[in-house]
Chains A and B, each alone.
Chain A
């Protein structure tokens, strides 16, 4: 059974701080790892990392994938109050009948204080 574990489960920082969110996984036939941001609504897609794309960056957010050690990190620099959200990590299994099913971690609740 595929498994995703995120840490920490919650994190409180002040504006301007840099945070690192962790995601470790076990998947029988790894296809990709995805990061989502969830505010008080539906999750929105941030990044996807695969064997051919192990590092992504968008503005103050960046992510890397370590396929050997089976983990990913999401970095947020110069945090803002708008970064407060739940950050979800998920993996997809490339196995025959998986049809792109996502297995999610528990999520990390990030709170950024002014």
Chain B
């Protein structure tokens, strides 16, 4: 398995509170991604990073921000959590130099916003 960890693995928080999810990799891959998974929607890209301090928005970025100060860490922040952000969040990594563009996924974080 690719060396990807996510923390926390489960979190329950109240509406309006800030939340930060962490993705940590030991593969030294350049590209990192945050997805959310909801029933009927598959996985949807929130934000991605193509290097330290280089990030861009995905298709469902509203209400989320990210930061990447080190190659190995990619943080996802919900500035003010809402119930619509209750979801399972997956981090993924990729080495674009690899011809397959394959992405390896972390174990996920289940977030519940009450």
> Taking beta carbons and an 8 Å cutoff, which residues of A are in contact with B?
1, 4, 6, 9, 31-32, 34, 41-45, 48, 88, 90, 92, 97, 99-107
Contact = CB atoms under 8 A, between A and B. Distances in A.
Interface of B: 31, 33, 35, 40-45, 48, 50, 56, 58-59, 90, 92, 94, 96, 100-108
A43 B105 contact: yes
Given A97-B56, A104-B43, A104-B44, A42 B100 contact: no
B104 A45 contact: yes
B96 A99 contact: yes
Given A32-B101, A41-B108, A45-B104, A100 B42 contact: no
A44 B92 CA distance: 11
A6 B59 CA distance: 19
B42 A107 contact: yes
Contacts of A32: 100-101
A43 B35 CA distance: 12
Given A97-B56, A99-B50, A106 B105 contact: no
A32 B99 CA distance: 10
Given A99-B50, A101-B45, A45 B40 contact: no
Q: Name the 9 nearest CB pairs between A and B, nearest first.
A: A104-B42, A42-B105, A100-B101, A104-B43, A99-B50, A106-B42, A107-B42, A92-B101, A43-B105
A18 to B, nearest CB: 24
B42 A105 contact: yes
A76 to B, nearest CB: 19
A102 B100 contact: no
A42 B58 CA distance: 20
A45 B93 CA distance: 13
Contacts of B56: 97, 99
B52 to A, nearest CB: 14
Contact of B108 (A34, A42, A97, A103): A42
Contacts of B42: 4, 6, 88, 90, 104-107
